[in-house]
Amino acid sequence: MTRTDAAAPPAADTRLRVRTVPVDETAPLVPRLDPRHPLLWMRRGEGMIGLGEVLRIETAGPDRVARAADGWRRLAAAADVDDRVGLPGSGLVAFGAIAFADESAATSVLVVPEIVIGRRDGRAWVTRIELLDATSGASGAALAAAPVELPEPAPKRDVPRVRFSSGTMPPEAYMSAVADAVGRIDDGRFEKVVLAREIVGQLQEDAGLRAALAKLADDYPDTWVFAVDGLIGASPETLVRVDHGTVSARVLAGTASRGRDATSDRAQAARLADSPKDRAEHALAVESAVATLAPHTARLDASPEPFTLQLPNLWHLATDLKGTLGDGSSSLDLVEAVHPTAAVAGTPREVALRAIAELEGFDRGRYAGPVGWIDADGDGEWAIALRCAQVSPDGTVRAYAGCGIVHDSVPADELAETDMKFRPIVEAFGAPPPSPPIP
């Protein structure tokens, strides 16, 4: 495994040889994950897993996305790719996770695995990626021809049991931060800010992450279930997707709890769709995504009215964006353009980011940052890392959830909303579900 220097792109002479072949693989992806270092991108059973690691590009600081995009462009341009499948995700790919904030201590990372197993549109493939240095050309050719040994699917295991407690922002502190933010909004300092809190637990030494990921995928099949460098979660929010010149995104902002029965559930969705508070909060998130994507698109359409998106734990207001790429940007170039949207930062962006740094008092790490994958042509799929946790090598699990705060936000309601948003990740770690008020 080669690790690039935290600030450096791969050496100029780094070359990759990549070979993708179709396989008759129908087995589910998750049982083949490496439980210690899972690499996963999946929705509705389709997507890819990565095994091993050929190299990584690590960056940090305000230009972390731009430098990752440049490093990747250079690596991909020099790669020798033989892709016999030609589906999104076949050929050369890297899995990525980007820190939320410019000043974060967390690194941003693109990981290139040795082997990718992918499934899409009922087809399956295996990709093998090798690092060629100046001296390994011949052995590389021999390796590429050797059959790939895939790991046997592992039997299902119980989820690990993790007990969570409050991190640096306990519930009372969260409510006062929300009240403080509402005061600042009323003073006209900004329109919206997204405030999060953190909970922390400890994974036992022998517990891997495969069972937690299996539970996320079983319970939240319509979300992007991901694992990249210890960041795992199930996000419903597509930051940006690029596929052969088409661009799409799903903006979420505005949340309501699910109802106790079908009638109250429908009433909750209807109330959310009509709520001036949630619609205003949502409009700011859509505006920020459209304004930042528009310069890169030849056309960009938004669904005319926000719709209600049902998830097992809550309702969201959602808007889908679809367009055509206008300037040859890669998916990471678009990530650079749109991150952080008002769905996870606020409006105006810079003032909101300063308020987050002041009021939250912890480093978000990669929470609310972009997570996804990119291929050799720059196509890729990126979600916002939500409903997630970062698991450190020592087993510390830090999970995060936040809410958009606007002038009529009520601190206790926002706290209850964070509990709903924690549910996927705490249940994936075997902790009892937080109990939000049910209408």
Ligand X SMILES: C=C(O[C@@H]1C=C(C(=O)O)C=C[C@H]1O)C(=O)O
Judged by CB, which is closer to ligand X: 111, or 386?
386
Least CB distance from residue 21 to ligand X, whole Å? Answer: 38
Q: What is the SS3 assignment for 19?
A: strand
Give buried/exposed letters for 145-157 (b at 16+ CB in 10 A, else e): eeebeeeeebeee
Q: Using the rule CB under 6 A, is 127 a contact of ligand X?
A: no
Q: Using the rule CB under 6 A, is 289 a contact of ligand X?
A: no
Query: For 328, which DSSP code?
Result: -
Query: According to CB under 6 A, which one of 159, 162, 242, 386 is a site residue for ligand X?
Result: 386
- DSSP letters, 257-270, are EPPSSHHHHHHHHH
Query: CA-CA-CA-CA torsion for 22, 75, 151, 126, nearest 10 degrees?
Result: 0
CB 232 within 8 A of CB 213: yes
Least CB distance from residue 143 to ligand X, whole Å? Answer: 42
Judged by CB, which is closer to ligand X: 30, or 193?
193
Interior angle at CA 356, CA 241 and CA 248, nearest 5: 10
Taking residues 400 to 429 in sequence order and writing x for each that binds ligand X by CB under 6 A, - otherwise, the string is -xxxx----------------x--------
Q: How far is CA 121 from the centre of its chain?
A: 22
Q: Using the rule CB under 6 A, is 364 a contact of ligand X?
A: no
Query: According to CB under 6 A, which one of 343, 345, 397, 426 is a site residue for ligand X?
Result: 343
CB 190 within 8 A of CB 15: no
What tokens appear for 396 in the block? 């510390």
**In angstroms, what is the C-alpha Rg of the chain?**
21
Query: According to CB under 6 A, which one of 128, 316, 366, 423 is a site residue for ligand X?
Result: 316
Question: In this chain, which stretch among 84-92, 199-207, 303-311, 395-403 interacts with ligand X, using CB under 6 A?
Answer: 395-403
If phi > 0 it is left, if psi is from -120 to 50 it is alpha, else beta; for residue 262 that is alpha
Catalytic, out of 237, 336, 360, 427: 237
Q: How far apart are CA 211 and CA 198, in angstroms?
A: 22
Judged by CB, which is closer to ligand X: 254, or 365?
254
Residues 6+ apart with CB under 8 A from 231: 97, 365, 366, 371, 385, 388, 389, 390, 391
Q: Using the rule CB under 6 A, is 389 a contact of ligand X?
A: no
Question: In this chain, which stretch among 52-60, 144-152, 262-270, 399-407 interacts with ligand X, using CB under 6 A?
Answer: 399-407
Judged by CB, which is closer to ligand X: 163, or 277?
277
| Neighbouring C-beta atoms of residue 209, cutoff 10 Å | 26
367 φ, ψ (degrees, to nearest 5): -60, 135
Judged by CB, which is closer to ligand X: 278, or 375?
278
Judged by CB, which is closer to ligand X: 231, or 401?
401
Judged by CB, which is closer to ligand X: 71, or 340?
340
Question: In this chain, which stretch among 33-41, 49-57, 247-255, 429-437 interacts with ligand X, using CB under 6 A?
Answer: 247-255
Q: Enumerate residues 30-89 that contact ligand X by CB under 6 A.
A: none
CB 415 within 8 A of CB 127: no
Question: In this chain, which stretch among 25-33, 96-104, 226-234, 249-257 interacts with ligand X, using CB under 6 A?
Answer: 249-257
Least CB distance from residue 249 to ligand X, whole Å? Answer: 12
Q: Which CA distances in Å does 2 have to 63, 129, 202?
A: 22, 13, 29
Q: Using the rule CB under 6 A, is 181 a contact of ligand X?
A: no
Least CB distance from residue 420 to ligand X, whole Å? Answer: 9
H or E segment at 110?
strand 108-112
Q: How far apart are CA 328 and CA 245, in angstroms?
A: 8
Query: According to CB under 6 A, which one of 254, 340, 369, 370 is a site residue for ligand X?
Result: 254
Cis bond before residue 439 (omega within 30° of 0): no
Least CB distance from residue 158 to ligand X, whole Å? Answer: 26
Least CB distance from residue 89 to ligand X, whole Å? Answer: 25
Query: For 248, which DSSP code?
Result: E
Judged by CB, which is closer to ligand X: 184, or 421?
421
Catalytic, out of 192, 198, 281, 427: 192
Q: Is 237 annotated in the active site?
A: yes
Q: What is the SS3 assignment for 217?
A: helix
Query: According to CB under 6 A, which one of 16, 85, 109, 253 is a site residue for ligand X?
Result: 253
Q: Enumerate residues 182-201 that contact ligand X by CB under 6 A.
A: 194, 196
Q: Using the rule CB under 6 A, is 342 a contact of ligand X?
A: no
Q: Is 381 annotated in the active site?
A: no
**Catalytic center residues:** 192, 237
Query: Which stretches of the chain bind ligand X, using CB under 6 A?
Result: 194, 196, 237, 252-255, 316, 343-344, 386-387, 401-404, 421
